[in-house]
């Protein structure tokens, strides 16, 4: 839903959106803070039974038109997104989503299997608004007073797991006027999601969130295995990258991995591969989000460029978990070992010796 080039394919956007929401919004660890006023704003947002708003995804450049959606939430974990290309319905408690593609009268139901056992707002199946609930009580930056969309507004900024949230609220009511979401490292500089025109506790029919397709649609049911842990999401992501790069890991592990995926599997030109694209995109995005969620001081390094899948003696990446005295090192056979700093330094020296110009 948020990746820069995904917005070009209206026919596949609904499917890819579901996968990205599921894999991408794995709750990360952010800094702690107080900010009582901000907590009150979050309470106002998250306590409503229903919420509706408009969402626009924009990217820099004339070739990147904005993608407009109407979004509806009913309770925790249930979301309906309507756009020009189709409709996506997410239900966290049921661990399912439904994509409706009106151009082809096709419905694709994804059934998510596995993943951590946790409350709906703390699982990989969480929707964007469920994720907002996790921001309560976390460190926020006061953006002061500005006029936003013609209204006086008070602003807050929260940075978590690589995502940058700017939340503008009515100072009198605490209700949101505008919410902006960016993530330059993963989505690319200049890509932004803007949410506005919020309405709370409006009547919404239960049928809007049904996971059964309307009459006249052909239903295709697909299962999507979710990683049990964020670290497993990284492993799955790099395995997917090796498949995309024909048995080798990419030179860099960043947003370009998903851009290269578009070049190899373009759903617009190859509609039959739409589900393959959505699955691959979701897996790669999940690993990128693992990296973004690493806390400060993790000493993340990616050195997998040119390494072939299965090379057990070649490191791909390493990082230091919070509070750990050792590093987690992932190798070419996708095994993970705990190594101390001296062993990691020896690996670094060996890599530099073998690649003097790298």
pLDDT for position 238: 94
The pLDDT mean for the chain works out to 77
Lowest-confidence pick of 61-65, 301-305, 343-347: 61-65
pLDDT for position 187: 61
pLDDT for position 19: 53
- Reported as a single tens digit per residue, the pLDDT across 64-79 is 667 788 999 887 788 8
Assess if CATH 2.30.36.70 describes domain 4-228: no
pLDDT for position 80: 93
Helices (DSSP H) in 253-307: which residue ranges?
Answer: 256-264, 274-293
pLDDT for position 16: 54
Dihedral of the CA atoms 13, 115, 314, 293 (nearest 10)? 70
d(CA 181, CA 192): 6
More confident site: 309 or 281: 309
How large is the average pLDDT for residues 215-222? 91
Other beta carbons within 10 Å of 51: 23
Closest listed residue to residue 196, CA positions, set 28, 55, 73 = 55
Are 124 and 116 contacting, i.e. CB atoms less than 8 angstroms apart?
yes
More confident site: 167 or 263: 167
pLDDT for position 25: 45
Lowest-confidence pick of 43-52, 171-180, 269-278, 326-335: 269-278
Would you place residue 335 in the very low, low, confident or very high pLDDT band (cuts 50, 70, 90)? very high
Would you place residue 275 in the very low, low, confident or very high pLDDT band (cuts 50, 70, 90)? low
Helices (DSSP H) in the chain: which residue ranges?
Answer: 10-24, 36-46, 128-133, 184-187, 230-244, 256-264, 274-293, 341-354
How large is the average pLDDT for residues 77-84? 88
Closest listed residue to residue 159, CA positions, set 143, 178, 147 = 143
pLDDT for position 67: 79
Lowest-confidence pick of 41-55, 166-180, 265-279, 341-355: 265-279
Collect all residues with Cβ–Cβ distance below 8 Å to 347 and sequence separation of at least 6. Answer: 315, 318, 329, 339
- Residue-range domain boundaries for the chain: 4-228, 295-354
| Strand intervals (E) in the chain | 50-58, 67-74, 78-83, 86-91, 96-101, 106-114, 141-148, 151-160, 163-169, 176-182, 192-200, 218-226, 301-302, 315-319, 327-331, 336-339
| pLDDT score of 135 more than 50 | yes
Burial class for 58, CB neighbours closer than 10 Å (0-12, 13-18, 19+): middle
How large is the average pLDDT for residues 191-204? 90
pLDDT for position 32: 35
pLDDT for position 178: 92
Would you place residue 202 in the very low, low, confident or very high pLDDT band (cuts 50, 70, 90)? very high
């Amino acid at each position: 839903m948020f990746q820069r080039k995904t917005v070009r394919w209206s026919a596949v956007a609904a499917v890819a959106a579901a996968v990205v929401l599921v894999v991408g919004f794995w709750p990360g660890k952010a800094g702690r803070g107080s900010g009582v006023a901000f907590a009150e704003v979050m309470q106002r947002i998250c306590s409503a039974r229903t919420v509706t708003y408009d969402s626009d995804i924009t990217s820099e450049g004339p070739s990147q038109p904005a993608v407009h959606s109407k979004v509806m939430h009913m309770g925790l974990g249930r979301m309906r997104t309507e756009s020009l290309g189709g409709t996506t319905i997410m239900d966290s408690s049921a661990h399912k989503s439904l994509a409706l593609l009106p151009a082809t009268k096709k419905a694709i139901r994804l059934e998510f299997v596995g993943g951590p056992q946790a409350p709906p707002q703390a699982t990989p199946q969480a929707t964007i608004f469920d994720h907002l609930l996790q921001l309560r009580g976390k460190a926020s930056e006061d953006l002061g007073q500005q006029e936003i969309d013609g209204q006086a507004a008070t602003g807050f900024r929260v940075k978590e797991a690589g995502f940058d949230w700017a939340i503008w609220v009515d100072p009198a009511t605490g209700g949101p006027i505008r919410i902006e979401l960016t993530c330059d490292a993963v989505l690319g500089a200049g890509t932004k999601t803007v949410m506005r025109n919020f309405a709370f506790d409006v009547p919404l029919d239960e049928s809007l969130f049904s996971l059964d397709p309307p009459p006249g649609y052909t239903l295709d049911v697909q299962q999507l295995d979710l990683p049990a842990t964020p670290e497993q999401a990284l492993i799955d992501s790099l395995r997917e990258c090796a498949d995309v790069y024909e048995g080798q890991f990419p030179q860099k592990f960043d947003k370009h991995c998903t851009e290269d995926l578009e070049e190899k599997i373009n759903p617009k030109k190859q509609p039959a591969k739409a589900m393959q694209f959505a699955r691959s995109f979701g897996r790669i995005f999940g690993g990128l989000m693992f990296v973004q969620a690493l806390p400060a001081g993790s000493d993340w390094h990616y050195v997998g460029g040119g390494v072939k899948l299965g090379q057990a003696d070649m490191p791909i990446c390493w990082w230091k978990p919070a509070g750990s005295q050792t590093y987690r090192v992932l190798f070419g056979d996708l095994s993970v070992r705990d190594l101390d700093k001296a062993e990691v330094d020896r690996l670094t020296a060996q890599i530099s010796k073998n690649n003097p110009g790298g």
